[in-house]
Amino acid sequence: MIAAPLLLVVVLGWRVAVGFHGNDWRRTELAREGFQVTGVVSARDYVSAVQRFLDKSVDSSSLFLDFGS
């Protein structure tokens, strides 16, 4: 049987490795499924993040239509 301090070090090391690489593994899996990273946004909550992303990604000139008048 493994000694308790050694088991603690092994489990802690495993958790640190998963913590550092978890998002990389998720991003790789999403890329395999066809998703693309188009931008990174930071906000207080989900709705604010989506709004900030859309504000940055939508071309403001495309919001106005030219009717040739």
Give the global pTM.
0.53
Domain locations along the chain: 4-58
Q: What is the largest CA-CA distance in the chain?
A: 84
Average pLDDT, 10 consecutive residues per value, the chain (69 residues)? 87 96 94 89 93 80 55
Q: How many CA atoms lie within 13 A of 43 on its CB side?
A: 13
Please state, in angstroms and rounded to a whole number, the distance separating the CA atoms of residues 22 and 39: 19
Name, in order, each residue with C-beta under 8 angstroms of 2's C-beta and a sequence gap of 6 or more. 10
